[in-house]
Amino acid sequence: MIIKTVNLETVCGITSTFPENILPEFAFAGKSNVGKSSLINALMNRKAYARTSAQPGKTQTVNFYNINDAFYYVDLPGYGYAKVSLQEKERWGKMIERYLHTSRQLRAVFLLVDIRHEPSANDKMMYEWMVYHGYAPVIIATKLDKIKRSQLQKQLKLIRSGLGLKGESLILPFSAETKQGREEIWALLEELMQE
Ligand code: GDP
């Protein structure tokens, strides 16, 4: 897809009502620092549209990016930032759940995990929420350039077992550094948009 326009159209905080969009939505979740902003920028061919987090966990909003007036890229708040109170963590969690529960246009959810590490308890919880709300999350394993090619299968297995993925669940390895995996993610988004 040729990206003509990217507009951050709506920003929702804890108490905001989510917009009732007509265009399809695709939501992206992952813990702080996993590379979510870098993924958005790589997909959109923008250098710094979504701010990469100098202070992870700071912006706790749901951001709706209108792309080409064709679909929304929905950036869910990063979770798991250690320096935040439990109460605050619960509020973000509720916001994410509320979005998953209420969006009518949400076509697919993407969960980002770092390819180098075993998924955390928060990653697993997020995955389970997504499944609970009826979605089959697509896993994006970020920072692919940080591992050796020979480690890939082992790491994918670790992610699969850590999240408790079912056999058919898709994991797409991705690197914002080399852009490896970008075409596969785009192909999937385009396919889902047709549905
Ligand atoms: P966010 O908090 O999930 O939005 O994460 P960011 O996109 O801000 O990335 C967190 C850090 O990881 C930054 O220092 C990025 O430069 C780095 N990073 C993100 N993606 C990649 C990647 O694919 N490869 C490498 N080597 N670093 C990455």
DSSP string, 143-164: -GGGS-GGGHHHHHHHHHHHHT
Q: Which of 37, 38, 63 maximizes ligand 1 atoms within 8 Å of its Cβ, making it the mutation to test the pocket?
A: 38
For ligand 1, atom 22, the nearest C-alpha belongs to: 143
pLDDT in tens, the chain (195 residues): 788 888 999 999 888 999 999 999 999 999 989 999 899 889 988 766 655 544 544 567 899 999 999 999 999 988 776 666 777 777 888 889 999 999 999 999 999 999 999 999 989 999 998 999 999 999 999 999 999 999 999 999 999 999 999 767 899 999 999 999 999 999 999 999 987
ipTM above 0.90, yes or no: yes
pTM above 0.90, yes or no: yes
Helix (H, G, I), strand (E, B) or coil at 130: helix
Q: 182 near 145, Cβ under 8 Å?
A: no
Domain segments of the chain: what residues?
Answer: 6-194
pLDDT confidence of residue 83? 67
In whole angstroms, what is the distance from residue 111 CA to residue 36 CA? 10
CA of 176 from ligand 1 middle (Å) equals 7
pLDDT confidence of residue 71? 96
* CATH among 3.40.50.300, 3.40.190.10, 1.20.1050.10, 3.20.20.70 for 6-194: 3.40.50.300
Backbone angles phi, psi at 146, to 5 degrees: -85, -5
Backbone angles phi, psi at 29, to 5 degrees: -130, 160
CA of 159 from ligand 1 middle (Å) equals 18
Segment 12-21, tens digit of pLDDT: 988 899 999 9
Helix (H, G, I), strand (E, B) or coil at 142: strand
Distances (CA, A) of 146 to 39, 77, 105, 143, 150: 15, 24, 35, 6, 12
